[in-house]
Chains A and B, each alone.
Chain A
Amino acid sequence: MYFKLFMIILINFCIFIYSASANNALINYQIIDYAIPLSLTSVSGNPESGQKIVISREGNCLACHQIPNIVDKFQGNIGPSLAGVGNRYTMGELRLRLVDPYVINSKSLMPAFYKNQNLIRVDKKYTGKSILTAQQIEDVISWLATLKN
């Protein structure tokens, strides 16, 4: 009797722990002057992996942006060209534009890449997850910062 009860509680506990970890909690960040000045992670961004994320389905940035540094026939033009963004913005400003562009323009078509709450009817595959992880954000912006011309 007590064993059964114990097992039920144990199983429930495991499910609780599992679901809490599946809802990958996001790192807190601070917005100052339309920028997120501090890195989201302790490992500094890797521009090479950043470029891969930008091109691949993970970031899918080419769906909306033209990036002249990348050779690809099919580049969208919904957002502004990313040529020279490294000159236009600081790292902190780039970070905010990826993490939560709605702070700058609440009607933005650009998705918030580091947001997992207050979203409606999210596909089950993606519920509780942000589009990119904190490290991926750091990687992407470290590559964007190299876009100077």
Chain B
Amino acid sequence: MSFYNVIIFILFLIYSLNVFSQETLNNKLYEKPYANNALKSGKYFAREETRNIELDEFENPGMIWVERGKDLFNLQDGENNSSCALCHKGDTNSLLGVAASYPKVYKNQLINLEQKINMCRKNNMNLPKYKLESNNLLSLSSFVSYISKGVPMNVSVAGKAEKYFKKGKEIFYQRIGQMNLACNQCHDEIAGSYLRAEKISQGHINGFPSYLMRWEGIASVHRRFQFCNNQARAQPLEIGHNDYNALQLYVAWRGNGLPIETPSVRR
């Protein structure tokens, strides 16, 4: 065997090892904590009384936000006298299923549904953005999600979304706060156990915006993340933070396939 043969053989070996390890890494990257048939929406972990309130649309207090969102959707406003409904042709059909694909990359930036709604207001309607977590914004996102009720969550983590997905996964597994707890420790490892009076769910977000009885109001996914950060005595991030969006993408992907159930009701 000549010297060159040996060199080429070694280079090839390094190359194939590289490809191999890349592949196993990727397999790991897309490993899901719950197989599709083991996915369980949060309502199955909620108390029966709470679940019954959610399932009865007349009793579900989150429906107030959906109704208000519907009014805002049709409201003609600003100099251009424009409304969401004018562009989105009525309501139900044109936005059917859209909520299931958020967060999503838009012009190299990962945005969630609330941020998308604000972009529509600013760029297409020439109206000021709503404050994040404001009643109006959450009413609209509740309505837009409600339109897709029953549609399976289906966020994409390929292409430009991949780097956000990786970031979100990293955050999900990072131990934080004085309690030194990571999301996966509660929502992957011990779902179904009780933390004090609370049965821990798999931590899915197919029911958001979600009505929380303790706040007597509707909350975005980011507000829920803040609350879970508080439980670990970790410094919460601001609502709308890029890292929360990345986390939201990862959490949504974990639950891809679960039907949208907005507005869910929790304690």
Task: Please report A residues at the B interface, Cβ cutoff 8 Å.
Answer: 62-64, 73-78, 109, 111-112, 115, 119-126, 129, 131
A122 to B174, alpha carbons, bound, how many Å?
13
Contact partners of B180 in chain A: CB under 8 A:
111-112, 115, 119
Residue from the list B181, B185, B193, B197 in contact with A74, Cβ < 8 A: B197
Given contacts A109-B185, A120-B174, A123-B178, is CB(A64)–CB(B195) below 8 Å? yes
Size range of the chain B interface in the assembly: 20 to 34
Partner of B196, one of A74, A111, A119, A123: A74
Q: Which residues of B contact A (CB under 8 A)?
A: 174-181, 185-186, 189-190, 193-197, 229-230, 233-236
Check if A122 sits within 8 Å of B234, measured CB to CB.
Answer: yes
Which residues on A sit within 8 Å (CB–CB) of B236?
123
Return chain A residues, CB-CB under 8 Å to B190. Answer: 78, 109
Provide a sorted-by-A list of 25 A–B residue pairs whose CB atoms are within 8 angstroms: A63-B196, A76-B196, A77-B194, A78-B190, A78-B194, A78-B195, A109-B185, A109-B190, A111-B180, A115-B180, A119-B177, A119-B178, A120-B234, A121-B177, A121-B235, A122-B176, A122-B178, A122-B233, A122-B234, A123-B177, A123-B178, A123-B230, A123-B233, A125-B233, A126-B178
**Which label, helix, strand, loop or mixed, suits the secondary structure of the B interface?**
loop
Q: Given contacts A111-B180, A129-B178, are A122 and B235 in contact (CB under 8 A)?
A: yes
Closest to B200 in A: A78
Asked if B178 contacts A109 (CB within 8 A), the reply is: no
Q: How far is the CA of A78 from the CA of B229 in the complex (A)?
A: 18
Q: How far is the CA of A126 from the CA of B177 in the complex (A)?
A: 9
In the complex where A109-B185, A129-B178 touch, is A123 in contact with B194 (Cβ < 8 A)? no
What are the residues of chain A within 8 A of B229 when measuring CB–CB? 121, 123
B-side contacts of A126, CB under 8 Å = 177-178, 233
Which of B177, B181, B197, B234 is in CB contact (< 8 Å) with A109? Answer: B181
Across-interface contacts of A62 in B (CB, < 8 A): 196
Please measure, in the bound complex, the distance between the C-alpha atom of A112 and the C-alpha atom of B235, giving whole angstroms: 18
A121 cross-chain contacts in B, Cβ below 8 A: 176-177, 229, 234-235
Cβ of B197 and Cβ of A123 under 8 Å apart? no
Interface centre among B190, B229, B230 (most CB of A within 10 A): B190
Query: In the assembly, what is the distance between CA of A64 and CA of B190, in Å?
Result: 11
Closest residue of B by beta carbon distance from A102: B180
A residues less than 8 Å from B174 (CB atoms):
120
Identify the closest chain A residue to B237 (Cβ).
Answer: A121
Given A62-B196, A63-B195, A76-B196, CB of A120 within 8 Å of CB of B175: yes
